[in-house]
Structure 1
Amino acid sequence: MHVGILGAGVAGLVTAIELAGRGARVEIVERAPDHARACAWVAGGMLAPWCEQATAEPQVAALGAPAIAWWQRHFAGTVQRGTLIVAASRDAGELDLFGRRTERFEPIDAECIGALEPELAGRFRQGLFFPDEAHLDPRHALPALAAQLAAMGVTIRYGVDADVARIDADRTVDCRGLAARDTLEDLRGVRGEMIVVRSSDIRLTRPVRLLHPRFGLYVVPRGDGVFMLGGTLLESGSDDPMTVRSAMDLLNAAYALHPAFAEAEILELGVGVRPAFPDNLPRVLRHGRNVYLNGLYRHGFLLAPAMAQQAARLIFHHT
């Protein structure tokens, strides 16, 4: 079977691996000049299904939990060191609420926090540790998947602006994200913003989330003193540059986590607009010979494997 895939973001690449692994002849077309234009390029890359229970529907954890093993099989840079959640003493209620909404964590005290992340020793009295969670660097993971696909004989054609009607294949999988609004009219854009910084004075080995009643922060280590700061979530389809307010929110929260972030070098400010359906849950839809995989919201790396497998089963079942 010849399958054409629209989009070389995380959904398209993961779907291609699932289809090619089942024996399909796969070709990907991407309108951008490279996959660095995908919104996944500015993602956090956190594989945190149990942390996401705090704000997401139960299906997200159920679909996302197997993703950790999937990424470990397909990307050697997947790091499984858990997720650490902390909060200032005045925000202890936020920590309690987070714990009531989630599972598979260990309540820990200040000594345990210091043992996990010595940089945070003495800064927080209590926290939650999710030992089974993992993370990866999207900017290494996406090229690694592309290289794996090349070894499997999958062609990726960049700079090709196409829709399902113009793909000459037995089946087509549309993974265009927000660009698929021409067909999936109930898609909306959810804007996320991030800042990449570098500091030789901070050493964190796992994602750390700082809870706050108004604004939460996550910090993801990228290695060599580089950290990705994220946490903004705006109901907007705009990909305009980051605002001063968002930058101040992220940087102030990072400073509250560790004062050394005040002296960090800002390497990049980035914006990504993620596709979401009204219920914030992903969907795999079939219309004739076309399959639509979309609505990964803010869980692209977490949900892509499960949704790609659904798409593959649908394609091979309805041959």
Structure 2
Amino acid sequence: MHVLVRGAGVAGLTLAHELLEQGAKVTVFDLLPDSSGSASWLAGGMLAPWCERESAEEPVLTLGRLAADWWENALPGHVVRNGTLVVAPPRDAGELGRFAARTSGFEEIAGERIAALEPDLDGRFRRGLFFAGEAHLDPRRALLALRKKLGARGVAFLCGGKEPAGADRIADCTGIASAAPALRGVRGEMLVLETPDISLSRPVRLLHPRIPVYIVPRDGNRFMVGATMIESEDDGPVTARSMMELLNAAYGLHPAFAEAKIVETGVGVRPAYADNLPRVTRTAEGVSVNGLYRHGFLLSPAMAQEAAAMILQEKRQYA
């Protein structure tokens, strides 16, 4: 069976991987030559189903639990299983209780344990929550590695021009660019800071009543700081307000970020349905995978498995 996958973001590449594993012939078509134009390129890469449950429905937890294992099996060595640390400034300590009440899978820890997990945060926070079962990866490294793996195993990547014909089924994974009904855009803004003066071993979420943010360590003394959630499909530059809020949050975690270099800013428009849950739906051409919202790397493995099963079961049924 030959499946054409539209879109080379995380939804498209994970589906291509699932289809290939199950014996399908796969072609990936995108308007751009790589994945750098997708919202996935700007993602945090947190595989944090328990933390995400704080503001998401139960399926995000149940479907997201398999993500770390899926990514580790697909790309050995890319997943860092150091958990997630959640902290709050003293003035916002009540936010920790609210976060804890809406989540599970955590250990309540005091300042000494926070310092043991992250020595550079010694003395900065009296209480925190540690989600030991969570993980993270570098989205860009993962996208490039997955694309390379697929290409080496015979997946054809085509970009620009006219979409190729002749596929048995088409899987639309184009995100906000698709014609999926009832889809809306949610603008997310992020920064990448660089400083040798602080080291983190895991994503740290800093709670705040208005704009809770996360800080994710990257290679090369870099840290991804994100991300805003604005109901807008505007993909213009980061706004001054968002820049100040993200920088203030980083500074609130550790003053060393005040001297960090801003090496990148980015804006991505994330596709979402009204309930902020993804969907795999049948179309006249095959299937559509969309609505991953802010959970691209967390939920794309589950969505890819569902979509692959739908496509291949249909082929077996009507062959």
What's the TM-score, normalizing by structure 2? 0.97
Question: Paired residue for 1:71?
Answer: 71
What residue number does 1:180 align with? 178
Aligned to 2:297: 301
Which residue in the other structure is 1:155 paired with? 156
**Residue in structure 2 matched with residue 259 of structure 1 by the alignment:** 255
Give the match's secondary structure for 1:36: coil
In the alignment of these two chains, the number of paired residues is 314
Paired residue for 1:3?
A: 3
Matches within 5 A, 1:212-231: 212-231=208-227
Q: CA deviation at 1:167?
A: 3.8
Letter in 2 for 1:186: A
Q: CA deviation at 1:215?
A: 1.3
1:236 aligns with one of 232, 244, 266 = 232
Where structure 1 has 5 or more consecutive residues not aligned to the other structure, the ranges are none
CA displacement, residues 257-307 of structure 1 (integer Å, 9 cap, x when unaligned) = 100000001100100001001111100001234100000000000000000
Counterpart position of 1:16: 16
- For residues 112 and 28 of structure 1, do their structure 2 counterparts lie closer, same or farther at Cα, with a shift above 3 Å needed? same
Pairwise CA RMSD of aligned residues? 1.0
Structure 1 vs Structure 2: percent identity of aligned residues?
Answer: 57
Aligned pairs for 1:66-105 (under 5 A) are: 66-75=66-75, 76-105=77-106
| Matched AA of 1:111 | E
When normalised by structure 1's length, the TM-score is: 0.97
**Which secondary structure state, in structure 2, belongs to the residue aligned with residue 63 of structure 1?**
helix
Give the Cα–Cα distance (whole angstroms) in 1 for the partners of residues 11 and 310 of structure 2. 16
Distance, in Å, in 1 between the alignment partners of 2:15 and 2:227 is 27
Determine if the alignment matches structure 1 residue 272 to structure 2 residue 272. Answer: no
Matches within 5 A, 1:32-71: 32-71=32-71
Q: Does 1:171 align with 2:169?
A: yes
Deviation at 1:151, TM superposition (A): 1.9
Alpha-carbon distance in structure 2 between the residues aligned to 1:314 and 1:146? 23
Distance 1:32 1:213 in 2: 38
CA–CA distance in structure 2, aligned partners of residues 307 and 65 of structure 1: 13
1:43-67 Cα shifts (integer Å, max 9, x gaps): 1000000000100011111111101
> How big is the shift at 1:161?
5.7
CA drift of 1:231 comes to: 2.6
Contact between 1:208 and 1:218, CA under 8 Å: does it hold in 2? yes
Looking at structure 2, the residues matched to 65 and 118 of structure 1 have their Cα atoms a distance apart, in angstroms, of: 28
In the alignment, is the contact (CA less than 8 A) between 1:86 and 1:208 conserved in 2? yes
